[in-house]
Amino acid sequence: MSSSVPALSLADYKSTDNEVRMSFIRELSAAARDVGFFYLENHGLTQTEQEDIISLSKSFFALSEKEKQQVKMANSPHFRGYNQTHAEVTAGASDFREQFDIMDELPAVNSHLISDEWQKLIGPNQWPKALPRMRSTLLTWQDRLTEVGLTLLSALCEALEQPADALQPTVENGPYRHTKLIKYPGSKTTDNQGVGAHKDPGYLTFVLQDEHSGLEVEINNAWHSVSPRNGALVVNIGELLELASDGYLKATNHRVVSPPAGVTRYSSAFFMAAQLDADIPVLELPEHLKRLAHGPSSDPKNPLLRQVGENVLKGRKRSHPDVTEKFYSDIPQQLSA
């Protein structure tokens, strides 16, 4: 099906015209509740910045297999680095994509100081020696998207008729951030899972796409294409916002279908969550919104956890069983299903 995903302009939220600003908040509320996905335009990221990330992605994945394997994720207890095709698991099946993951560039927590397993998520990234500009480019991109993400988080609080800073205590020490570069090779078979159906564990996800389609969102039990839109980022609501709004906002299932044989699709995803040591509060919605909030969705294979580090680690473990087996003491049953 063709896209049923609305488009919003972040410039409207920053407008000095109050009616324009309030119209944006109303449109954002509808998009975040009814679909859980939307295009974001006029976000402040230049076309050059966006094209540079896609170009960098192509340069990285064009490296030799030996160079990519030197930074493979299986070396990192922090889930950073390169994965070849079929290394990541989504919805119980392997994904036909290559990817490279970074998070905040931080020293690892001393093992003697770790009291919660999620603290092992904290640590350094791995960087390929053959692309020295990759570190500064990706960390700057991550910072730029964080600015957009925090602005949008404030707007979503207003859409819930809360103070704009209602969720500020959960990000005051810096949100948890995770960036991926992704390559989807063309598929000659009917087994075309680029990435399986899933929801994202954070507050917000931002997706930068090249010119090729493949991303799909589930709306009313049907899959709808989220086709590339020039200059726009695709934004989707994550599980933490569904939790904070007691189900009023919607974290939506989405997937990526592999491109046809002979076509390669490149994209980049940025995931922003609350800080890892935070517990997500349930916001006190006004009565007319509360009546429409029926609690977050429930899936025995994907329990939603209010402790942010636990919710993020849950997703990492489920997606990367090789890293989990190597560096973590247990694989809970629901994560290995």
Lowest-pLDDT range, 86-90, 101-105, 207-211, 290-294? Answer: 86-90
pLDDT of residue 215: 92
Kindly tell me the burial class for residue 265, based on how many C-beta atoms sit within 10 Å of its own C-beta (0-12, 13-18, 19 or more): buried
Lowest-pLDDT range, 66-80, 211-225, 288-302? Answer: 288-302
Lowest-pLDDT range, 86-100, 176-190, 297-311? Answer: 86-100
Q: Do 198 and 254 form a contact (C-beta atoms < 8 A)? A: yes
The pTM for the full model equals: 0.93
pLDDT in tens, 158-180: 999 999 999 999 999 999 999 99
pLDDT in tens, 24-82: 999 999 999 999 999 999 999 999 999 999 999 999 999 999 999 999 999 999 999 99
Alpha carbon of 240 to those of 103, 132, 145: distances in Å? 18, 35, 18
pLDDT bin (cut points 50, 70, 90) of residue 88 is low
Evaluate if residue 190 carries a pLDDT over 50.
yes
3-state secondary structure the chain: CCCCCCEEEHHHHCCCCHHHHHHHHHHHHHHHHHCCEEEEECCCCCHHHHHHHHHHHHHHHCCCHHHHHCCEHHHCCCCCEEECCCCCEECCEECCCEEEEEECCCCCCCHHHCCCHHHHHCCCCCCCCCCCCHHHHHHHHHHHHHHHHHHHHHHHHHHCCCCCCCCHHHCCCCCEEEEEEEEECCECCCCCEEEEEECCCCCEEEEEECCCCCEEEEECCEEEECCCCCCCEEEEECHHHHHHCCCCCCCCCEEEECCECCCCEEEEEEEEECCCCCECCCCCCCHHHHCCCCCCCCCCCCCCCCEHHHHHHHHHHHHCHHHHHHHCCCCCHHHHC
pLDDT of residue 87: 67
The count of residues in the chain is 337
Sheet holding 37-41, edge to edge: 7-9, 37-41, 233-237, 204-209, 265-273, 176-184, 98-103, 81-83
pLDDT in tens, 231-252: 999 999 999 999 999 999 999 9
Sheet holding 254-257, edge to edge: 193-198, 254-257, 215-219, 222-225
Mean pLDDT of 199-208: 94
Mean pLDDT of 206-223: 93
Q: Do 323 and 76 form a contact (C-beta atoms < 8 A)? A: yes
Q: How far apart are CA 313 and CA 311, in angstroms?
A: 6
Evaluate if residue 331 carries a pLDDT over 80.
no
Domains of the chain in start order, with CATH, are: 7-330 (2.60.120.330)
Higher pLDDT, 300 or 2: 300
Q: What is the mean pLDDT of the chain?
A: 92
pLDDT of residue 100: 98
Kindly tell me the burial class for residue 263, based on how many C-beta atoms sit within 10 Å of its own C-beta (0-12, 13-18, 19 or more): middle
Q: Do 265 and 278 form a contact (C-beta atoms < 8 A)? A: no
Higher pLDDT, 37 or 190: 37
pLDDT of residue 189: 67
